[in-house]
Amino acid sequence: AQSVTQLGSHVSVSEGALVLLRCNYSSSVPPYLFWYVQYPNQGLQLLLKYTSAATLVKGINDFEAEFKKSETSFHLTKPSAHMSDAAEYFCAVKKNYGGSQGNLIFGKGTKLSVKP
């Protein structure tokens, strides 16, 4: 069965510091992976997606993620945190129904706090 695990339910960084949010996946087939961000009382906004075209994926707002098959990881990074990055981040994998794709399976989320 496919799944994603996000390490750390809360991460706190200082403004200007590196942001690193961890995600590990489990999948017996090539995974399609996503990172979403959710601000309070809002829906989910797509940050970036991995669909096997390139292992280093660049997204919006200077976020990027690297797909590492050997480590089954898809960690999200940003070189310099802004106060506006404070939100909850979700890693997700697209479910595979025997060859066709389906819904998203989400991790539990990581709340990012940014200190001034």
Binding positions for other proteins, rule: CB under 8 A: 32, 34, 36, 41-46, 49, 51, 90, 94-95, 97, 100-109
Residue 57 burial (10 A CB sphere; 0-12, 13-18, 19+)? buried
Nearer to other proteins, 59 or 86 (CB): 59
Q: How far is the CB of 4 from other proteins (least distance, A)?
A: 11
Task: Work out the angle at residue 85's Cα, subtended by the Cα atoms of residues 89 and 57, and round it to the nearest 5 degrees.
Answer: 60
Q: Of 17 and 104, which has the nearer Cβ to other proteins?
A: 104
Q: How far is the CB of 28 from other proteins (least distance, A)?
A: 16
Q: What is the dihedral of CA 22, 28, 30, 32, to 10 degrees?
A: -50
Cβ 16 to other proteins, closest distance in Å? Answer: 30
Task: Give the residue with the Cβ less far from other proteins, 43 or 116.
Answer: 43
**Alpha-carbon dihedral 51, 45, 72, 76, rounded to 10 degrees:** 110
**Minimum distance of other proteins from residue 90's CB (angstroms):** 7
Q: How many CA atoms lie within 13 A of 53 on its CB side?
A: 6
